[in-house]
Structure 1
Amino acid sequence: METADDAEITEAASRPAVVDSPAPDDRRVVREAIKDGSGTAMATDPPVKRGLPLAYEGSYYEIDWNATGTEPGTAFAVGVDLNGTAPADETVWFEELSERDRRLLGDLLTATSEREPRLSPGPEIAIPEEYTIAETNESVLLSGEYSAVRYNGTVYPFVLEERREVTLTRYRYTVSRVADSTNSYAQQLRDEHLFRLSGLSEGERSVMNEAIDGVYYAEDTDDKSFRSIMDQFSAESAIEADSYGGTWLVRYDGKVYTADLSYGGFNRSERPVAG
């Protein structure tokens, strides 16, 4: 359990809409939906799952999607070697890549070039990717003609693995604004999820006090105090939870906490969870 102000409450109940990653397309569709009202992505699975609201530039958004069609595509993995070499005739300039190749490799090379090169041979990092047929036909990476790319004056060998034909689904994403500020979202969360623990036994208070700024572990399933706390939490509306644990917002001894509770190993039967 951690004491929580507005910023910490909303952080526990949201996901970032923009992430720094070698694979930027997983969140690109969300940024499009927030700015334009909707966005589309082609993938074998939804690139961004439903779940906690997304935080973007101080506001918070619920996300949803529906499938609108399918088309064939290509799945593969690309890896980059930071300290490898390649023949000149197998090296292509970054600027000669297709637009989709540049978007993929640009972020990957930026991320990998900032790492300390390893002495062992082979790619330092590899990521999976999916292209539509049009992107496949335009791709220089997938043409088989080159094994390295020259980027900002440095040659980076790359390898392609696990190439296969797949069926891509077109996902249309839409968003709705949940709150336009951290304070207003935190207040919503308090109104919907905050509950109070009081009148606890000495054993129950021991569980709670040990969990504050730390962790309480139930050593065995005969821990009646932990079981009582577990039952009280799982009966309340959680910020996010499944049958084996979750995150709650609780007031205890006059302070507000975010509390992470995991009871999958303690109670293996599925439990009803509110919220």
Structure 2
Amino acid sequence: MERKALAALGLLALVALAGCSATGSLSMEAANDAEIAEAASRPAVVDSPAPDDRRVVREAIENGSGTATATDPPVQRGLPLAYEGSYYEIDWNVTGTGPGTAFAVGVDLNGTAPADQTVGFEELSERDRRLLGNLLTAMSEREPRLSPGPEIAIPEEYTMSETNESVLLSGEYSAVRYNGTVYPFVLEERREETLTRYRYTVGRVAESTNAYAQQLRDEHLFRLSGLSEGERSVMNEAINGVYYAEGTDDESFQSIMDQFSAESAIEADSYDGTWLVRYDGKVYTADLSYGGFDQDERPIAG
């Protein structure tokens, strides 16, 4: 879900999570076909704030393959990607390397700049416009802030040919005029990098949401039944909410966690995971966090 979007939203996430921790937790939501498929996929289109992250995936889906040049794969392997009602697995291989430029561009919502240092958006290179287009659209819809300086900074990498064509990197301008509004920008952390060329390919795993949801039920759905009173209390509190274990001596939560981790997860690692479970006649997506419980001896299925 990915590199630049995380960079833009990382601070908000840290603020939201500050002070919130638990020994372990379980949350469950009743799920129909669309909700099951959503829990087991990623969107192939990211409109804002970083429109270029998954362009390569759209190219691969529409044309059979796509290419990207970056220091790291712009889209990682993982859950299938949803695109126009179908679902696709992605893979990539390295086809070469080349020189490039890494930098961050910061944009100011409420700044000013001299006219001779302002360039029209239409005068930017194609690569510059792709970088700034959706970002400026999203930012122009937000309320200006009173604090000076850039409100957001987006990391980016250009090939050498893109660097040579770039107006942003030319050093001639300090602001861009977009839809009649002037947005000052600053370039930070500019450095030369060796970039890797990636060739992406895709394989369709399901032609529709219903077909994908059925695949997931066939592969991952398991039933919880015959639970103790304490275990049912954990499950019932988790439904449409969150159950928090208060300590590692919570035997009911430990038992539920053992039963989940023995089953095939939609996605799981040594810290948390998502499962598909039938409980009391309903199907739920369940997000389980192991928290402080020791998982070293517990195999994680998935």
Q: Spell out, residue by residue over 1:159-180, the C-alpha distance to the aligned partner (whole angstroms, 9 max, x if none).
A: 1001011111101111000100
Task: Tell me which residue corresponds to 2:148.
Answer: 121
CA contact (8 A) 1:112 1:125 kept: no
Residue 204 of structure 2 aligns to a residue whose secondary structure is strand
Residue 243 of structure 2 aligns to a residue whose secondary structure is coil
Which structure 2 residues correspond to residues 9-24 of structure 1 after superposition, within 5 A? 9-24=36-51
Task: Tell me which residue corresponds to 2:298.
Answer: 271
Shift of 1:270: 5.9
2:191 matches 1:164? yes
Amino acid of the residue matched to residue 156 of structure 2? E
Q: Spell out, residue by residue over 1:212-271, the C-alpha distance to the aligned partner (whole angstroms, 9 max, x if none).
A: 111111111111111111111000000000012200000111111111100132225363
Residue 235 of structure 2 aligns to a residue whose secondary structure is helix
Alignment match of 1:66 (pick from 88, 93, 96): 93
Q: Spell out, residue by residue over 1:102-159, the C-alpha distance to the aligned partner (whole angstroms, 9 max, x if none).
A: 1112222111111101111111221011000000011111011111112222221111
CA contact (8 A) 1:112 1:124 kept: no
Task: Tell me which residue corresponds to 2:222.
Answer: 195
Amino acid of the residue matched to residue 175 of structure 1? V
Which structure 2 residues correspond to residues 1-275 of structure 1 after superposition, within 5 A? 1-267=28-294, 269=296, 271-275=298-302
Q: Spell out, residue by residue over 1:167-213, the C-alpha distance to the aligned partner (whole angstroms, 9 max, x if none).
A: 11101111000100111111000000000111111111111111111
TM-score of the pair, normalised by structure 1: 0.97
Q: Give runs of ≥4 in structure 1 deviating > 4 Å.
A: none
The separation in 2 between residues aligned to 1:214 and 1:109, in whole angstroms, is: 36
Amino acid of the residue matched to residue 138 of structure 1? E
The separation in 1 between residues aligned to 2:74 and 2:211, in whole angstroms, is: 28
Task: Tell me which residue corresponds to 2:11.
Answer: none
- Give % identity: 90
The separation in 1 between residues aligned to 2:298 and 2:163, in whole angstroms, is: 47
Amino acid of the residue matched to residue 160 of structure 2? I
Would you say how many aligned residue pairs link Structure 1 and Structure 2? 275
CA contact (8 A) 2:37 2:212 kept: yes
The separation in 2 between residues aligned to 1:24 and 1:99, in whole angstroms, is: 13
TM-score of the pair, normalised by structure 2: 0.89
The separation in 2 between residues aligned to 1:94 and 1:201, in whole angstroms, is: 64
The separation in 2 between residues aligned to 1:244 and 1:79, in whole angstroms, is: 34
CA contact (8 A) 1:4 1:258 kept: yes
CA contact (8 A) 2:270 2:295 kept: no
Shift of 1:24: 1.0
CA contact (8 A) 2:97 2:194 kept: yes
The separation in 1 between residues aligned to 2:214 and 2:108, in whole angstroms, is: 48
CA contact (8 A) 2:57 2:66 kept: yes
The separation in 1 between residues aligned to 2:167 and 2:222, in whole angstroms, is: 57
Amino acid of the residue matched to residue 96 of structure 1? E
Root mean square deviation, CA, Å: 1.1
**Any unmatched runs of 5+ in structure 1?**
none
The separation in 1 between residues aligned to 2:283 and 2:49, in whole angstroms, is: 37
